[in-house]
Chains A and B, each alone.
Chain A
Amino acid sequence: MPADPVETIPPVVKTVTVDCTPEEAFRYFTADFGKWWPLATHSCIAFSSGHTQKPATCTFEQRQGGRIFETGASGEEHTWGTVLSWEPPTRVVFTWHPVGEERTAQTVEVRFTTSPGGTEVVLTHSDWERLGALAQQARDGYDQGWESVFGSSYAEYARGRAAA
């Protein structure tokens, strides 16, 4: 059992306005996911290759229960998450565990709302407590999954900062 209580971790919330309809925004976000996602810097292959390689493709399957995954040049797949709610054009919710394990996956919700500039896109990354509990356990020394998540994510961030 963790010695310390798991801290409450507020969700990450990001907003952007795009000049198109919510229907288009939803489609661009999901169907075209692999076309806009920064794969060269934010993917499992990019991290594990020290940013020398990137995935061949990245796919966002267009349905509830669909997978979000990257595919390497040799066809190897790495799943980033699974679609929990598929509600075009308003909302999509998916689990998120690109560098971790499904059991500690967080949740990402993306909402698309008509706004004066076109469509307001609000992304909320929550359920950090699932990872927090694991971090606590890792600190107590009897769980292994945390380091791969924390280590690779943060190390990549640090690499990005160092390179900037």
Chain B
Amino acid sequence: MLQLLRSKPQCVGELARLLPVSRPAVSQHLKVLREAQLVSEYRHGTRHYFSLNPVAFGELRQYADSMWQDALNAFAAYVSSQKKSSTEDK
């Protein structure tokens, strides 16, 4: 979807036509992208268009920071659970 948005702003109907997913799925995906501030929307006449935002690259790094925190927390929890069990896990 982002590749389509990169070429030019699109409206939901057009995106749903071009992509192998349902229109509600497209709307839902656009909602997530909008919350992530990757796309912005504007109205033109009766249509609602979405376009790609240029964004600060540091946000991806920020995402990675939280992802690795989650991952290492899960790792630590796993090690704890392994140590608690009396037999080696195979």
Chain A positions within 8 Å of B, measured between CB atoms, are 7, 9, 12, 14-20, 24-25, 28-29, 32, 35-38, 41-42, 50, 121, 123, 125, 128, 131-132, 135, 138-139, 141, 144, 147-151, 153-159, 161-162
Contacts and interface: CB of A to CB of B under 8 A. Distances in A.
Contact of B32 (A15, A148, A159): A159
Given A25-B79, A139-B54, 8 more contacts: A16-B72, A16-B75, A28-B75, A29-B75, A128-B57, A151-B38, A154-B55, A159-B35
Contacts of A162: 32, 35
B79 A151 contact: no
A19 B2 contact: no
Contacts of B71: 37-38, 42
A21 to B, nearest CB: 11
Given A42-B67, A132-B57, A154-B38, A147 B72 contact: no
Contacts of A15: 72
Interface of B: 2-3, 5-6, 28-29, 32-33, 35-38, 52, 54-55, 57-80, 82-83, 89
Q: Which secondary structure characterizes the binding site on chain A?
A: helix
Contacts of A153: 60, 63-64
